[in-house]
Structure 1
Amino acid sequence: MSIRHLDRLLSPASVAVFGASNRAGSVGATVWRNLRAGRFAGPVHGVNPKHSSLDGVPIFAAAAHLPAAPDLALICTPAATVAPLVAELGALGTRAVVIVTAGLSAEQKKAALDAARPFTLRLLGPNCLGLLSPHIGLNASFAHCDALAGDVAFVSQSGALVTAVLDWTRSRGIGLSHLISLGDHCDVDFGDLLDHLASDARTRSILLYVESIESPRKFMSAARAAARNKPVIVVKAGRAGNGVKAAASHTGALAGSDTVYDAAIRRAGMLRVDTLQELFIAAETLSRFRGHRHTTLTVMTNGGGAGVMAADAAAHEGVALAEPDAALLARLDAVLPVHWSHANPVDIIGDAPAERYAQTLSALLADDAAGAVLFMHAPTAIVRSEDIARACLPLARSHASRVMSAWLGDSAVAQARKLFEDAGIADYATPEEAVHAFAMLQTYRRNQEVLMEAPGASPHTAPDGAAVRPPLDAALAEGREWLGEQEAKGLLKAYGIEVVPTLAVAATAEAAVEAARGLGYPVALKILSRDITHKSDVGGVRLGLGSDAALAAAAREMLDAVRSARPLARIDGFTVQPAVHRPHAQELIVGASIDSVFGPVILCGQGGTAVEVVGDTAIALPPLNRALAHELVSRTRVARLLAGFRDHPPARLDALYDVLVAVSQMLADLPQLAELDINPLWVDENGALALDARVRLSRTPVAGAERFAILPYPAQWVRTQVWNGRPIVVRPIRPEDEAQHRRFLESLEPEDVRMRVFSTRRELPRSELARLTQIDYDREMAFIAEGLDAQGCAETLGVARTVSDPDRVEAEFAIIVRSELKGQGLGTLLFERLIEHARHRGIERLVGFVLRENTRMLKLSTAMGFKADPAEPPGSGLRRMVMGLGTSATATPPRPDSRCGA
């Protein structure tokens, strides 16, 4: 049900407590006391047949006796009573319930959900602490104290952590917009709350404590939408023990659940931290520095030791210290003693008066190359810290997005620290904490770049379908999980991945020698067995064999070794292939596996037989393009080797990126693909070459685009057609269309733009343009009509767009075509496609807000079957046009049109 009625849950006008009590230590008594003690202005009623009054307030015997249906009901009654109460409340008109009660069985949870569903009544819990909304004085929980009002929302699966955070924030003066305990979250979950909090005006940042995710695509869509609007910071419990699991492939062993959560958090543009303290440090840092783009740090200090500690922390965190140039050094020389540090950290000497602090800070802030400035001060007897703070405050306040402070000490610097904090300047207890906060900011910025990335054009080559399906079908028909080496390499080749040339299969050592003579020495010899996946582990690989005698001896030794190590394995013979000599190649692994939560995942890193020991791998969620593949590779240590060193030229990284994109496409196309290892994958200045591959299949579909946590590009909606005698392609927009979309917007007449977006602005910042081209296909659609200009280059002729609410109840449409093409039927064509897609996605109704003077769009929408909403206020200047589509997905999307490269 997603965001429906969450306003009733988090901002109710009235509340009722079922199970209100005066029994000391009971949950019902605590919830009742908290509600009554708070500043909540609306009616608060108690329901309990055992009481006629509590604290002088009348108590009602049943829900039916209440004077009106409460917006929010809290249930603190036995588990068996929950579902009947939910049904009764739904019928009365209540639309939000917090089930504080613990101990509900699976059947009782289902009964409560079934009772809520006809009324779209929302359930928080069961087994939850409740919620607090301090801005309206609501403490609908059994927490031990109330919360301060502020702009940070905290959502937790752990009730114990809710109370700990509540205590922690109060002691530090941190205010909260909402504090929500999910409990067993049978209905309201992280995705729902992220969607709601993303547009909550009182919430500036969102903090999550996550133990598990049960609706990954919903979570990812909501998280990506929220992270575009405000910082979302996550503590994910359960790092320990999840890193390595038993698996038949290297990828399956390395893609542990925690690393996949890391990949999901990164892909959604959120920030992961390890502790609750880091959670709030990150929240403060991101809220103050989110728009700050500097990547280097300058440390200013009155003590050399503190500066060294900050520099050491920067080295450990990978934070770059800015190098002062000659001009900045000259400005600092003019205000500092001759024996100052002449480097970063800028040590202004312990006897510095307040004026020296202000002059140094002014010089640093005047130089943009100095980056962010970490202002540090240790108290001295020479000048009061408070005086220094007052002298520097005007400068620091006017550059609050560049200044971080660390007032070292306690009571001696307390007033100075407060002056800076009151001025909105981020303050940290130690140099290490400040540098760590800056490092978190850098990580967050990189994650946001992944979220906002608009990749360049990359090849979209369709795989050779005739070469893909038959070997997979044959293997499954034979009851085999693993493809043979030739079959696996054939699959890679069908997706455009280069594999080692000519592979010969030999049943005996003598046949292997004959095959080698035909191929030419030197050769590589491998054991051929459907029961052995890691050949090198059992002595089943020999390289660089240069003669008949060497090959024959190697074959005999290999058979002995394999039979000794795996006596029950079926041995079908040997494979022989020419030795490949690429002296500059780096050994990589590229793989795919299926995560139990987020579905298909992709791995890349340093390969070879010791891949688990080396541990240099990174994980990403598909779908991938070249830009996202680049980001994945950049998180490995081997990326530095691929960049080139000494006599090793830089590798052709585009070839590696294309391998990763091809694997992403395999996962989308092949539902039976359970595991894939390409190891080793050689990458050098000549490109990428797969030397070995293993592919495991599953009879039950485990991959496929519909199982991705992020819905991939819907190529099935690409169509080539003729419009006005001109061939055009109507297709979903891609992130790669950013530049083309900018040109389209710039081509529009100002009046046409005003009719569409109610303003004449045609130039958009890059962030807004990226938002228009990087859409979430699970919730949005933008069809573009694309033709060729006089030079044969692609150009956008028109765009039709829908954005649906997370419930898929309503989607808002918008259409705009090139100004010179109006009235030629292109708008109708795009409108028809939009309606077809909305029906297929199960949208109940399409709506559009049209300026009353936009007679062309009003006429078009009416012709398409839309009706004006009669409830629209006459003086609003807008008409709300509505079309009901029904609730079932009836339309069938077309098959991809190969003529347009889908």
Structure 2
Amino acid sequence: MSVRSLKPLLHPQSVAVVGASTKPKSIGWVVMRNLLREEFAGPVMPVTPEHPSVAGVLAYPDVSCLPQPPDLALICSPPETVPRVLETLGKRGTPAACIMSQGLHRARTPEGDSALERTLAVARAHDMRILGGGSMGILVPGIGLNASSAHRGALPGKLAFVSQSGALCTAVLDWARPREIGFSHFIHLGDTDGVGFGDVLDYLGSDPSTRAILLYIETIQQRRNFMSAARAAARNKPVLAIKAGRSMEGGRAAASHTGVLAGSDLVFDAALRRAGMLRVRDIDEIFGAVETLARARPVKGRRLAILTNGGGIGVLAADDLAELNGELAALPEEVIARLDSVLPPTWSHGNPVDIAGDADGERYVKALTILIESKVVDSILVMHAPSAISDPSEVAAAVIRWCKDRPRANIMTCWVGSEAVEHARHLFSGAGIPAYDTPRAAIQALMHLIEYRRNQTLLMEVPASAPTDFVPDTARARALIDRALAEGGGTLNEPEAKAVLEAYGIPAVETRVASTPAEAAEIAATMKGRLALKILSPDIVHKSDVGGVVLNLPGPAEVEKAAREMLERVIQISPEARISGFTVQTMARRPGAQELIVGVATDPVFGPVIMFGQGGIAVEVIADRAMALPPLNTTLANELISRTRVSRLLEGYRGRPPADREAIARSLVHLSQLVVDFPEIVELDINPLFADSKGVLALDAHITVAPARPGTEHLAIRPYPKELEELFALPDGQRALLRPIRPEDEPNHHVFISRLTPEDIRFRFFGLVHELPHSEMARLTQIDYDREMAFLAEVAGGNDGRETVGVVRTVTDPDNDKAEFAIVVRSDLKGSGLGKRLLTKMIAYCRSRGTKVIAGQVLKDNPRMLAFVQHLGFVPTRTVDGDIVEVELDLHSAAAARIE
């Protein structure tokens, strides 16, 4: 996650080709040809000892002879020579290289070392950025750079394409050019041993020439780097991804139901969703989605009205909508009555709204007006099929005029056909209105908008590291987990697993352990009602598969008999299994309760994931599940539930009351907290989890643990760092809570900004900012704790009992070299020591993260702030625009070390 030296790599001023060749079809020949075909303004320097010139350009026998160190070196020499070449380039001061040589991971240097390992070591030693090995190269059409071995160049444009597949790169180039699709950057990462997706996303996310970023992903190496960079980029522009390997083949075996069901593709889906990106399935879809996101307005809801002059195409669109899980708006009687008044009697009297084949522009406009004014319609798909009576272009022109008068209306169009509607589609394109060739393409585009909006909403969710209204019994859970680790088995038995769940507020059925059939009978005698008996073995997870579960036992005698028979049966089926005894539990009588599965699995890339779905013994067959990355809050938990088919059953049906959705979501949040607190948890199963109107109850549970380092590094997304909270005493006796900012602070932040004095506003924002829009305020309160930090001070007061009175924030560059700070404290608290404590807290935090420098900007006519920061060791470095002073603090200096 570093943008260091990425500008020389992706926007070089000079290029050297090491291994340039005059041999046709060789990589060195193709790369030189591509570089010289374009209009790259900088010098191109071929390096080869075999020829005095290549393609008419003076060649140099080796890197040491180059007249200047190139910004970018394209290495096309044999793989065993790459480390030596890179060493020479590093000594010359070249900051970036693209290794185009194949087979680096198999080659050995002349000294017998691994060429790949030696290459990486050399790059680290000289602080060089490398792309590849095996990279096809880089194209930046805007500067005339084709530093690639591609068979054709790229047109300039606003899209960036980043791929791990060279074959897909060439296919996309071939596909895009005849369609006049251009690119700001076209990058093949190769083996991604150097520059990865996180690095490139950081660069492109803030690149003004890039409107959207398209990714082709096969593997992710650094989960938190990728997630932080993806979340940062997706806040600025659309990021779309194709992921290879969607099937379950190759998935690792797992002991639990959750582990078996947690396919890597589902986990990847969850990661993209949480990062605010949009996932698509193929090349056609990815470019169609880009155009949709660029032209269409953001949707506010899912309900679609279809307006058409042909019943057939309207039905096709409705079918596609149903298949893609969209929602057809139900038109109320008053809307139908209004449509009756302007449409011929033959119209469809429902949605799709078929207004007949002779419909002209005026009829379309009348129907559009009624539909858009309806509160039950969020978007409208306007469709038209050619007819001898109606003019497609006349209708299109009328729709365009109507749209100009209603710029907020969410309208998509589908003029079906070819030659007869080509001009109409051209009119829509010129007016910036989305136009599609087929009903399915239009519906798919709508679903892209809906999914993108949902993912952007999830992007803004930053759950706490611990729910504020929930205090788990961590000591009890820690004792149980530590005991399992000490015994070396790594598996908690069923009663122990249930005890951990209960420590985290997830109710479980009473379960007791018996060593022998006789002891099971003794326990049964103390319990009321019907009983369940289960085998207890660290080697048997799926007990029912070996006959290790017997239900509805009426009393002690039946329990003892069942235990003896169970023991014989299990020993016969699984003779190697260690038998610890039995569990006896009361039968949970919850008629009509829905069986759910809730669990945790560890993905090799993204770490812990939470699974939710329909449970029971047929859980793998039903395969109704959804995944989410922890940490979760209630919003994220409810979104996870909604992505399963069983969520509809939870709403109630055929006389069954709805299940307690709040209790289910709460259990997921508590389970997420358990994962945050205990990185030792590798797998966890609750199957079944009964859910009904009375709440939830865990009937069976399984937990597998393994040694792990403490902290939150096991998570792909850093949770709210509650450990950074502290109390600060104000001079008037009030105690201010200093803590990291949270998304739910947005309302109080609005109030805080609105109450700042004009002078405070000018000093903080360098201008008169009366209020900030929701989007900007969300950006200030919904932060990625891996990249940013904001500490606020709050005291008692306000509508919800809390009032923000000060805030300090920093944004750190991806290399963690420099953090830029800003601070503001309410005017009546200046001089109270609050500002100093907030800033010193931030300084200490940045130093603890290894940040090198903290910097800020202060207006010249704000002498109080200048004196304040200089007192803390900040040094003025330069003046910007005549009235802004930049100040910096070296966090490793003696002055910084004195700050407490």
TM-score of the aligned structures, taking structure 2 as reference length? 0.93
The 1:637–1:459 alpha-carbon spacing in structure 2 relative to 1, beyond 3 Å, is farther
Confirm or deny: 8 A CA contact 1:210 1:234 kept in the other structure: yes
Distance 1:645 1:740, change over 3 A: farther
The one-letter code matched in structure 1 to 2:628 is A
8 Å Cα contact 1:397/1:424 also seen in 2: no
CA positional deviation for 1:387: 4.2
The alpha-carbon deviation at position 38 of structure 1 amounts to 1.0
**Contact between 1:454 and 1:770, CA under 8 Å: does it hold in 2?**
no
Partner of 1:66: 66
Per the alignment, residue 131 of structure 1 pairs with: 138
1:94-133 map, 5 Å: 94-105=94-105, 107-133=114-140
Q: Residues 605 and 22 (structure 1 numbering): CA distance in 2 closer, same or farther, change over 3 Å?
A: same
Q: Decide whether aligned partners of structure 1 residues 439 and 785 sit closer, same or farther in structure 2, where only a CA change above 3 A counts.
A: same
SS where residue 526 of structure 2 aligns?
A: helix
Query: Partner of 2:586 in structure 1?
Result: 578
Q: Larger deviation: 755-764 or 28-37?
A: 755-764
Query: Which 5+ residue runs of structure 2 have no aligned equivalent?
Result: 107-113
Check conservation: 1:220, 1:264, Cα contact below 8 A.
yes
Match for residue 498 of structure 2 among 467, 486, 489: 489
Report 1:309-388 matches (<5 A): 309-325=316-332, 328-329=335-336, 332-333=339-340, 335-357=342-364, 359-361=366-368, 364=371, 369-388=376-395
Runs (4+) off by over 6 Å: 454-457
- CA displacement, residues 506-525 of structure 1 (integer Å, 9 cap, x when unaligned): 33333333322222222222
State the alpha-carbon separation in 2 of the partners of residues 78 and 709 from structure 1. 38
CA contact under 8 A between 2:463 and 2:720: conserved in structure 1? no
Q: Partners of 1:489 and 1:212 in 2: how far apart?
A: 36
Match of 2:625 among 605, 617, 620: 617
Cα gap change, 1:842 to 1:292, in 2 (>3 Å): same
What code does the residue aligned with 1:250 have? Answer: H
Match of 2:483 among 444, 461, 474: 474
Residue 669 of structure 1 corresponds to which residue in structure 2? 677
Q: Which runs of 5+ in 1 are unaligned?
A: 895-902
Provide the secondary structure at the position in 2 that maps to 1:706.
coil
State the AA in 2 paired with 1:746.
Answer: S
**Structure 1 CA distance for aligned equivalents of residues 323 and 132 of structure 2:** 42
Q: Deviations over 1:652-708 (max 9, x none)?
A: 22322222222222222223221111222222222222222111121x327852111
Where does residue 311 of structure 2 map in the other structure?
304
How far, CA to CA, are the matches of 1:376 and 1:483 in structure 2? 60
Larger deviation: 349-358 or 27-36? 349-358
In structure 1, the partner of 2:109 is none
* Number of equivalenced pairs: 889
SS at match of 1:839: helix
Instruction: Describe the SS at the equivalent of 1:60.
Output: coil
Paired residue type of 1:138: L
Picking from 734, 738, 747, the partner of 2:755 is 747
Shift in Å at residue 845 of structure 1? 0.4
Residue 522 (structure 1) aligns with: 530
Q: Provide the residue aligned with 1:898 in structure 2.
A: none
Q: Look up the match of 2:37.
A: 37
Report the Cα distance in structure 2 between the residues aligned to 1:674 and 1:354, rounded to whole angstroms. Answer: 62
State the match for 1:899 in structure 2: none
Is residue 659 from structure 1 mapped to residue 667 from structure 2 by the alignment?
A: yes
Counterpart of 1:23? 23
The residue that corresponds to 1:681 in the other structure is 689
Distance 1:139 1:661, change over 3 A: same
Alpha-carbon separation, structure 2, partners of 1:243 and 1:542 = 35
- Aligned-residue RMSD, C-alpha: 2.7
For the Cα contact (< 8 Å) 2:299–2:449, is it kept in 1?
no
Name the CA shift for 1:22/1:377 in 2 (closer, same or farther; >3 Å). farther
Residue of structure 2 in register with 1:876 after alignment: 882
| TM superposition shift of 1:549 | 4.2
Match of residue 892 from structure 2: 886
Measured against aligned partners, the alpha-carbon deviations of 1:315-374 in whole angstroms (never above 9, x if no partner) come to: 111222234455654554455433222322222322334554455455555657543232
Which has the higher mean CA deviation after the structures are superposed, 566-575 or 842-851? 566-575
**Matching residue of 1:169:** 176
Which 10-residue stretch deviates more, 138-147 or 378-387?
378-387
Instruction: Report the equivalent of 2:779.
Output: 771
Q: Name whichever of 351-360 and 724-733 sits farther off.
A: 351-360
Match of 1:277 among 284, 308, 315: 284
Which residue of the other structure, out of 156, 172, 175, is the alignment partner of 1:149?
A: 156
**Counterpart mapping for 1:407-446 below 5 A:** 407-446=415-454
CA distance 1:647–1:337, shift in 2 (3 Å): closer
The verdict on how the C-alpha distance between 1:306 and 1:479 changes in structure 2, with shifts beyond 3 A counting, is same
| Partner Cα distance (2:750, 2:118) in 1 | 52
Counterpart contact for 2:877–2:886, Cα < 8 Å:
yes
3-state SS of 2:713 partner:
helix
The amino acid that maps onto 1:71 is: D
Report what 2:3 is aligned to.
3
Is 1:827 aligned to 2:835, yes or no?
Answer: yes
Partner of 2:12: 12
- Aligned residues of 1:245 and 1:254 also touching (Cα < 8 A): no
Amino acid at match of 1:131: I
Cα distance change on mapping 1:792 and 1:276 into 2, 3 Å: closer
Letter in 1 for 2:315: V
Structure 2 CA distance for aligned equivalents of residues 39 and 399 of structure 1: 44
**Which residue identity lines up with residue 8 of structure 1 in the other structure?**
P
The 3-state SS of whatever aligns with 1:656 is helix
CA deviation profile, 1:135-163 (whole Å, cap 9, x unmatched): 22221111111212111111000111111
Query: Does the CA-based 8 Å contact 1:228-1:269 persist in structure 2?
Result: yes
Give the letter aligned to residue 507 of structure 2: E
In the alignment, the residues of structure 2 paired with residue 86 and residue 869 of structure 1 have an alpha-carbon distance, to the nearest angstrom, of 36
After superposition, the C-alpha distances for 1:486-526 in whole angstroms (9 at most, x for unaligned) are: 2212212222222223x333333333333222222222222
Does the CA contact (< 8 Å) of 1:779 and 1:804 recur in 2? yes
Whether the 8 Å CA contact 2:32–2:55 is kept in 1: the answer is no
- Aligned partners of 1:260 and 1:595 also within 8 Å: yes
How far does residue 232 in structure 1 lie from its aligned partner after superposition?
A: 0.8
Shift in CA distance, 359/641, structure 1 to aligned 2, threshold 3 Å? closer
Stretch moving more, 420-429 or 345-354: 345-354
Verify the 8 A CA contact 1:734 1:773 in the aligned structure 2.
Answer: yes
Deviation at 1:741, TM superposition (A): 2.7
Q: Which residue identity is paired with 1:481? A: G
Tell me what 1:593 maps to.
Answer: 601
Is the Cα contact below 8 Å between 1:463 and 1:496 reproduced in 2? yes
SS at match of 1:869: strand
Q: Distance in 2 between matches of 1:523 and 1:173?
A: 71
Contact 2:495 2:512 in 1 (8 A): no
In structure 2, the CA distance between the partners of 1:441 and 1:655, relative to structure 1 (3 Å rule), is: same
- State yes or no: 1:866 paired with 2:874: yes
Q: How has the CA–CA distance of structure 1 residues 504 and 78 changed in structure 2, closer, same or farther, with 3 Å as cutoff? A: closer
Deviation at 1:869, TM superposition (A): 0.6
1:225 paired to 2:219: no
| 1:539 equivalent in alignment to 2:533 | no
State how far apart, in whole Å, the 1-side matches of 2:334 and 2:596 are.
45
Map 1:726-741 to 2 at 5 A.
726-741=734-749
Q: Paired residue for 1:897?
A: none
Q: Distance in 2 between matches of 1:640 and 1:565?
A: 39
Cα distance, 1:226 vs. partner? Answer: 0.9
Query: What is the rounded CA distance, in whole Å, between the counterparts of 2:819 and 2:335 in structure 1?
Result: 55
1:263-305 CA-partner distances (Å, limit 9, x unpaired): 1011101111111111111111112225343432222222221
Corresponding position: 1:499 with 2:508: yes
By how many angstroms is 1:191 displaced? 0.5
Deviation at 1:253, TM superposition (A): 0.7
What SS class does the counterpart of residue 772 from structure 1 fall into?
A: helix
Measured in 2, the distance between the counterparts of 1:339 and 1:791 equals: 56
Choose from 797, 809, 826 the match for 1:818: 826
Q: Which moved more, 1:89-98 or 1:398-407?
A: 398-407
- My pick for the range that moved more, 745-754 or 455-464, is 455-464
The normalised TM-score by structure 1 is 0.93
Kindly tell me: are residues 836 and 727 of structure 1, through their superposed partners in 2, closer, same or farther at Cα, counting changes over 3 Å?
same
Alpha-carbon spacing, 1:131–1:728, altered in 2? closer, same or farther (3 Å): same
